[in-house]
Amino acid sequence: MTFDRSRLRPFANLDKIVGALLEVWPEHADYCEARFRDDPPGFMTRSDELAGLVVKLAGGDLATYCQDYKWMCAEFLKEELYFRREGRYRLSTFKEAYDEVYNKADYMSRYVRGILLSQLIWTPHARAFDYFRTHFLPGNPPGTNHLEVGPGHGLFLYFASQDANIARLEAWDVSQSSIAASRHALQTLGVTRPISLIEQDVLAAPSRSEEFHSAIISEVLEHLERPDLALQTLRQALKPGGRLFINVPVNSPAPDHIYLWTGTGEFIDFVKGQGFEIETSQFLPMTGHSLERAVKHKLSISCIVIARKPQ
């Protein structure tokens, strides 16, 4: 298989990132071919906007981000080997993840840079942003009070900040350094409207009640020992009828994933079990695989769920 990059040419930011990545990692061409093969034009255009944000965040250091993405993929393969052999994630407690990943500054820096690039290069990541922009945000009423838990690289928060229906923005993170990183990212992306970035543990007893019309928790629950408590806190914080965008991968080993769901149905039942109704859901298989094949072989599938607190 050869990767015909000509279809990326009209999308300058995508072309720039993929070009830089293939300079560092030419063997990733087949993967990129599978990633961009079936993208419809509208999605390509929105992906190019996302790529523009990634380019801004990477600054003049795109090559380093590409090297760290390649390194991160190798780290994921180690976890994949353990997962396939043992049928579970290697780590199971937050302390283990803290000791092995979060508390190692150099490892964390590389991991965060790699993850940023994956937002564009991994199909489920890119499609999750798209679903958030095209299906979640337009469903919010004018004057929406919006909350994000674990804003990380700040990209979801950026898109929320651009939405006219959102009147107020707040984000929680358990780590001061993560909050500082998110704040810096939002400045880099040119977000000028006020956003409350608060140090708040979503696992702590619910501190807020019926304040938010909408919320998002993306790729956070699988990092927690008690994701049920996180959803219960969010349920309490949402107004009746409030909407929650959830993004969680199942069967998806990573250096800091500690909570395993083994199927999409199991995850939907989990969300319902925390008192939410399901508005819509999307199941996004890993790049290059159909959903049917991903289910059959227990491959990574991202569950995108728009849940609703009952009226």
Partner 1 sequence: MSPDAILAKLTDVFRDVLDEDGVVLSRGTTAKDVAGWDSLSHVRLVVAVEQEFGIRFDTAEISGLANVGEFVNVIARKLG
Instruction: Using the minimum distance from each CB to partner 1, give the nearer residue, 95 or 297.
Output: 297
Instruction: Using the minimum distance from each CB to partner 1, give the nearer residue, 24 or 167.
Output: 24
Shortest Å distance, C-beta 141 to partner 1? 42
Query: What's the rounded Cα separation, in Å, for the pair 92 and 222?
Result: 10
Shortest Å distance, C-beta 5 to partner 1? 19
Please report, for residues 14, 45, 81, 217, the alpha-carbon distance to residue 10 in angstroms, rounded to integers and kept in the order given: 9, 9, 38, 33
Shortest Å distance, C-beta 272 to partner 1? 31
Dihedral, CA atoms, 51, 52, 53, 58, nearest 10 degrees?
Answer: 90
Query: What's the rounded Cα separation, in Å, for the pair 106 and 59?
Result: 19
Determine the residue type at 143: G
Tokens of 238: 């949402």
Shortest Å distance, C-beta 256 to partner 1? 19
Instruction: Using the minimum distance from each CB to partner 1, give the nearer residue, 145 or 287.
Output: 287
Instruction: Using the minimum distance from each CB to partner 1, give the nearer residue, 30 or 61.
Output: 30
Q: Which of 126, 212, 134 is nearest to 166 (CA)?
A: 212
Furthest C-alpha separation in the chain: 54
Shortest Å distance, C-beta 285 to partner 1? 12
Contact footprint for partner 1 (CB under 8 A): 1, 30-31, 73, 77, 80-81, 84-85, 286, 288, 293, 296-297
Q: 3-class DSSP state for residue 239?
A: strand
CA 222 distance to own-chain centroid = 11
Determine the residue type at 304: I
Instruction: Using the minimum distance from each CB to partner 1, give the nearer residue, 90 or 243.
Output: 90
Shortest Å distance, C-beta 71 to partner 1? 13
Instruction: Using the minimum distance from each CB to partner 1, give the nearer residue, 52 or 288.
Output: 288
Shortest Å distance, C-beta 288 to partner 1? 8
Instruction: Using the minimum distance from each CB to partner 1, give the nearer residue, 31 or 212.
Output: 31
Tokens of 63: 């090559």
Strand order in the sheet with 144-149: 196-199, 166-173, 144-149, 212-218, 238-250, 301-308, 277-285
Strand partners, 306: 245, 280
Contact 173, 181 (CB under 8 A): no
Dihedral, CA atoms, 85, 127, 179, 167, nearest 10 degrees?
Answer: -150
Instruction: Using the minimum distance from each CB to partner 1, give the nearer residue, 91 or 299.
Output: 299
